[in-house]
Amino acid sequence: MSKYTIHETAIVVTDKIGTGTRIWAFVNIQKNVTIGADCNICDHCFIEQNVTIGDRVTIKNGVSVWDGVTIADDVFIGPNTVFTNDINPRSKIVKPLVATIVSMGASIGANAVIVAGNKIGSYSMVGAGAVVTHDIRDYALVYGNPSRLAGYVCSCGTKLCGTENTKTEMICDECSKRYRFANNILTPINRE
């Protein structure tokens, strides 16, 4: 019995696949790809060589993940998301690839475009159809073309609301987790 599931129509060259991962129909995964445990890679995805994918990652239908992209644990990538790995692409001119990092817990909405060389922060949320042309802060909510900061989200995914002093503290209406905002950095406040 296999420790992971691969649909009969999928082309999977790598054997570095974690336990419980499911790879669905018409997926193409090239050599030297590492995929963590309990991932779900949906129909018609393409994962180019040398990509690293963490544990518990969901990649919805029609996503292409190119060489140079690293995806951390607990990431959600919406359908038809586009990654790039070349800032100035030209046919038949080989240039060094540009790295892109999707940090732990981040979510990317359907049809978003992630331009090469950017870091998507931990637990951030990129709205559907956004074009990411710069780094995204941890817990940031961005959308638009080009993407712009539209607020912050909790690790549970709910948009955060401010408290008495909205410039220093935020609270989640869904799970009551509290965050401190200082020097343009949002960090969780430990619960007692």
Same domain, 164 and 78: no
Same domain, 87 and 68: yes
What's the number of domains the chain is made of? 2
Same domain, 126 and 59: yes
Same domain, 64 and 146: yes
Question: pLDDT per position in the chain (192 positions), as tens?
Answer: 579 999 999 999 999 999 999 999 999 999 999 999 999 999 999 999 999 999 999 999 999 999 999 999 999 999 999 999 998 888 988 888 899 999 999 999 999 999 999 999 999 999 999 999 999 999 999 999 999 999 999 999 999 986 545 568 888 999 999 999 888 789 999 754
Question: Domain span at residue 181?
Answer: 156-192
Three-class HEC string of the chain: CCCCEECCCCEECCCEECCCCEECCCCEECCCCEECCCCEECCCCEECCCCEECCCCEECCCCEECCCEEECCCCEECCCCEECCCCCCCCCCCCCCCCEEECCCCEECCCCEECCCCEECCCCEECCCCEECCCECCCEEEECCCCEEEEEECCCCCECEECCCCCCEEECCCCCCEEEEECCEEEECCCC
